[in-house]
Structure 1
Amino acid sequence: MKQRRVTENYLKTIYELSQKGVVRNQHLVHALSVSRATVSVSVKILAEEGFVYLVDGKYIYLTQKGLQIAKEMNERYQVLCKLLISLGVKPEIASRDACELEHCMGAESFSALKTLVQCEI
């Protein structure tokens, strides 16, 4: 479970950063608050697993496989965060909790919550 969560967090973060421009290891270091070595090893593993590819050894891009997971995690985060805020949870707490919940919820439960959020918000 932990490895899947780490993979999903990296992919979502790469996706979010890519919306602002090119992504490099140093961007992940700052965004994820981890060491350069950790990012280096993690990006290498993500590339080996076919989730990302590197251009010129320094620019990180999501593959279709990685993009699909990143978009799914981003959607889960957004829906869960909106739901929690609509229930009166403070935004900073909702953000933290949505980040935890996005990884452990099954597809059926998420779909039901997504429908609820779309009706309520």
Structure 2
Amino acid sequence: MKLRRTAEDYLKTIYLLSQKAEVHGTYIAEALGVSKPTVSISLKALEQEGYLMRDENRAFCLTEAGLKIAKATYERHQTFQTLLEELGVDGKTAAADASLMEHAVSPESYEDSPLRGWQKERR
């Protein structure tokens, strides 16, 4: 399934924020640099699609489906950022470019290529 880039960005952001604390719309808006109303609309759609839910504190949590997509998107990002940095690209530029590349490469191409697992082999 091919999700739109915005959905992948939201899911990845929620995943990363959830590693530190409860995730609320305000934190997502700050992390993505978008308005709170925009976040509200996007989160409602993601909730309706079954990628996230709210807990008793009204914090957002990823469902199993949302977590799978978030982790895959984050893994692609990390792989491309590491690859670019090893090629000599500075960290800030590599991170920005990896954010674009994580969406440009299809899951099929990534899964079937030597890139999958490349970063883990480098450690």
In 2, the alpha carbon distance for the partners of 1:34 and 1:59 equals 18
User: Percent identity at matched positions?
Assistant: 42
In 1, the alpha carbon distance for the partners of 2:118 and 2:56 equals 44
Are residues 1:51 and 2:51 paired? yes
1:108–1:65 distance in 2 versus 1, CA, 3 Å: closer
Structure 1 gaps, min length 5: none
Q: TM-score, normalised by structure 2?
A: 0.88
Match of 2:83 in 1: 83
Q: Secondary structure at the match of 1:53?
A: strand
Aligned-residue offset at 1:115: 4.5
Match of 1:8 in 2: 8
Aligned-residue offset at 1:9: 0.1
Aligned-residue offset at 1:107: 3.4
In 2, the alpha carbon distance for the partners of 1:113 and 1:11 equals 22
Aligned residues: 119
1:115–1:28 distance in 2 versus 1, CA, 3 Å: closer
In 2, the alpha carbon distance for the partners of 1:37 and 1:58 equals 16
In 2, the alpha carbon distance for the partners of 1:81 and 1:9 equals 16
User: Does the CA contact (< 8 Å) of 2:79 and 2:118 recur in 1?
Assistant: no
Runs of 4+ in 1 over 3 A off after TM superposition: 114-121
In 1, the alpha carbon distance for the partners of 2:46 and 2:78 equals 24
Q: TM-score, normalised by structure 1?
A: 0.90
Match of 1:23 in 2: 23
Q: Secondary structure at the match of 2:50?
A: coil
CA RMSD of aligned residues (A): 1.7
